[in-house]
Amino acid sequence: MIVRVTALALLCGTPLVAQGILPRPNVLFLFADDQRADTLGSWGNRYIKTPNLDRLARRGLSFRRTYCMGSQHGAVCAPSRTMLLTGRSLHRVYSRIADFPILPELLRNVGYTTFMTGKWHFGKRATCRGWDRARSVLFGGMSDHNRVPTADLQQDGRWSKPRRRGFSSTVFANEAISYLEDQAKTGGAKPFFAYVSFTAPHDPRTPPPGWRRYDPESLPLPRNYRGMHPFNNGAMAIRDEKLGAWPRTPAMVREQLAEYYGLITHLDHEVGRILAKLRELQLAANTYVVYAADHGLAVGSHGLLGKQNLYEHSMQAPLIIAGQDIKAGSTNAFAYLFDLFPTILEWAGAPIPKGTDGLSLSPLWQGGEWQRKAIYTSYAKNIRAVRDDRYKLLRYLRVDRTQLFDLQEDPHEMRNLWGLPQAKDVAVHMRALLAAQQKRWSDPLGWTGGKPMGPTFTPPAKRRSDGAQPAWVRRKYFRSATGVATEDGLTEDFAQGDAVLDRFVFTDPKAWKIAATDSGNSLELLGKSKYRPPVRSPTSIALIKGVHYGDFVLDVELEQTGREYGHRDLCVFFGVEAKDRFYYVHLASKADDHAHNIFAVDGKPRVKIASKTTAGIKWGDGKRHRVRVRRVTGSGQITVWFDDMETPIMQATDRRFVRGQIGFGSFDDSGKVHRIAIEGRAIPAGDVEF
């Protein structure tokens, strides 16, 4: 009979607690700070070690599409936590936590004992509203992990003087373990809600010495790494973005990733200690465990470091729930973090306040219908975004820029489809969806809003550290006025100019020198490289190496000087898998022929796969030409723009060469080396608007 009633309750979505079948469950809420959703080993990251969270994921349900809705300001963690604790959405709650009942308060009203430790944005009065016990509380957003000033709520309702007790994650885990031990002594007289709000892996990225285990050189760059964001998003020089210099060099990003991963692995260890204690005290069977983070972080993705943007890496958050009736697995259903508010109240059998925007997540493990079909996000007055199961639109309100991504084909948001003819219908649909979602969530702005600003970002001349960064971090990342790193013989002066070489290293730095121009600095080719293609092809080569690329966009300005007669040929080549296997874009100017070609070389004489004769465009001394080459390996498409033309001069499809290197070259009948000045960015195919 009991089995039949339990099955019926599950089918109807009625909590077992409300049926009187099970005692009210405990809830252990473990909350990380600034943790990307892709930093769990069990979620596919093979470079990071998170054994305890992986074990939790194996016995719980992983929510692979969980989001923070956004923020009205740069401290994204504050509104994220406000939404979580009130169940209200961004534009309806802002940070007015005092205006609404909060989760621990509602649980305490139905007989729960409540506990918190760690980060708390909302002041001492709000703490007393919700928590029976509060230990090692950080009133604020961040601190040096080794010197976190924490205070305790005392029995007389007063707060102890702030003390610094050790490394943050360890301090908070110790408090959680102490609380669980006290709960075990009571024999479960009351169910508990324990909220453990870590400050890791928020910067400073300073894992304890024994946990600096990651070799930066062993870590791959994010798939959507770039040195600079392609345009001003309105928050380019906010505090988080000043933690590293511009452009973001591969070495700096790898170092910060190693430190970030070290913080997460140490946090995983402390989480493991808490979960082990829960099992040891025999409290696990009747406890829901929730592991989440308040949002993600860029750490080099899209040329950004912080969370003041609406890309997936910054708004997505990890979420794992394990408990008595939750079947292990994963779901791609859309969820907001504030959906946890009604979910936890439902577990406790507590009434859900009128006006709650969150939806209980229980249908996702009880087999019910899930209502959320789209995700809307918002950042300040700068950015709005919406995504459905496949597409995502980002609108930059103050700089009049738009991005459209096909997340099915392009999950790292690297290829902007906005403005392309083939994406016209999708663009119309997604713009309408954004407008509908803005109305749905009471967004006061529309397609534009806020004070307009220019699309160009100029890095500040100086970056200043804050008091949270310990001395060794200040020395490492703030040691110069600009902080621009030197790489492979290219001086800081070059990196500070208009020209930015992003993620590339030249094979022979001695063949290049830095030349000043009216618009900034450029590289000047002084001699031939060691690369010698065995077939007719450019003989004066500057090969760019480092990683091997599949998709990329190469955007450069070329200038040629040389003889007054004969060929004036310049080439952009790529796809170097062997010395006789590559493509090149050939820009030629002869007395009677102004031709542009795409050639393929594959161990045989070159094959012309596209050609265009353009009258009136001639190479000449001091004449600069802008050339953009785009390679998309998935479709095999090669596209070439020339001299800022609105439409490509050439487009071809060829699938022979999937990956390779990139280079520049020139050749004429005598094999003379011409000067090539390069300005602009050479980047992986990505977040570039044509």
DSSP state letter for 71? E
- The model's pLDDT over 669-689, given as tens digits with 9 standing for 90+, comes to 333 434 444 433 344 443 333
Q: Are 536 and 606 in contact (CB under 8 A)?
A: yes
Residues 366-399 have pLDDT tens digits of 989 999 999 999 999 999 999 999 999 999 999 9
What CA–CA distance (Å, rounded) separates 27 from 30?
10
Q: Which two tokens stand for residue 542?
A: 């500057």
**Helix 77-86 vs helix 340-348: angle between axes, to the nearest 10 degrees?**
30
Q: Dump the DSSP string for 221-241.
A: PPTTB-SS-SS--S-TTSGGG
pLDDT in tens, 500-557: 333 344 445 555 555 544 444 455 555 555 566 666 555 556 665 444 556 666 666 6
Helix, strand, coil percent values for the chain (each to nearest 5): 25, 30, 45
d(CA 192, CA 184): 11
Average pLDDT value for residue range 626-633:
75
pTM, two decimal places: 0.70
Mean pLDDT along residues 312-318:
98
- If 0-12 CB within 10 Å is exposed, 13-18 middle and 19+ buried, where does residue 609 land? middle
Tell me the average pLDDT across 212-226. Answer: 94
Q: What is the H or E stretch that residue 339 is in? A: none
| Domains contained in the chain, CATH given | 25-378 (3.40.720.10), 381-440 (no CATH), 492-684 (2.60.120.560)
CA 602/CA 579 separation, integer angstroms: 9
pLDDT tier, 14 (very low <50, low <70, confident <90, very high otherwise): very low
Query: Cβ atoms within 10 A of the Cβ of 294, count?
Result: 24
Q: Is 549 helix (H, G, I), strand (E, B) or coil?
A: strand
Instruction: Encode 632-644: b = buried (16+ Cβ within 10 Å), e = exposed.
Output: bbeeeebbbbbee
| Positive/negative CA dihedral, 345, 349, 355, 360 | positive
What does the angle CA 504 – CA 505 – CA 508 come to, to the nearest 5 degrees? Answer: 150
How, if at all, do strands 568-578 and 660-666 pair?
antiparallel
Range in 137-141, 366-370, 595-599, 601-605 the model is least confident about: 601-605
**Helix, strand, or coil here: 180?**
helix
Given a cut of 90, whether residue 284 has pLDDT beyond it is: yes
Give tens-digit pLDDT for 65-97. Answer: 999 999 999 999 999 999 999 999 999 997 778
Calpha distance 5→9 (Å, rounded): 6
Lowest mean pLDDT among 58-62, 68-72, 310-314, 518-522: 518-522
Give, to the nearest 10 degrees, the angle between helix 250-280 and helix 168-185.
10
Identify which of 501, 539, 507, 504 has the alpha carbon closest to the alpha carbon of residue 520. 501
Q: Which two tokens stand for residue 13?
A: 């979505």
Query: How far are the Cα atoms of 5, 7, 65, 143, 151 from residue 467, in angstroms, in the given order?
Result: 58, 56, 35, 8, 19
Roughly how many angstroms between the first and final C-alpha of the chain, as a whole number?
Answer: 67
Q: Which amino acid is at 338?
A: F
Q: How far is CA 233 from CA 35, 164, 683, in A?
A: 22, 38, 18
Q: Which of 65, 70, 93 is nearest to 80 (CA)?
A: 70
β-pair partners for 553: 630, 683
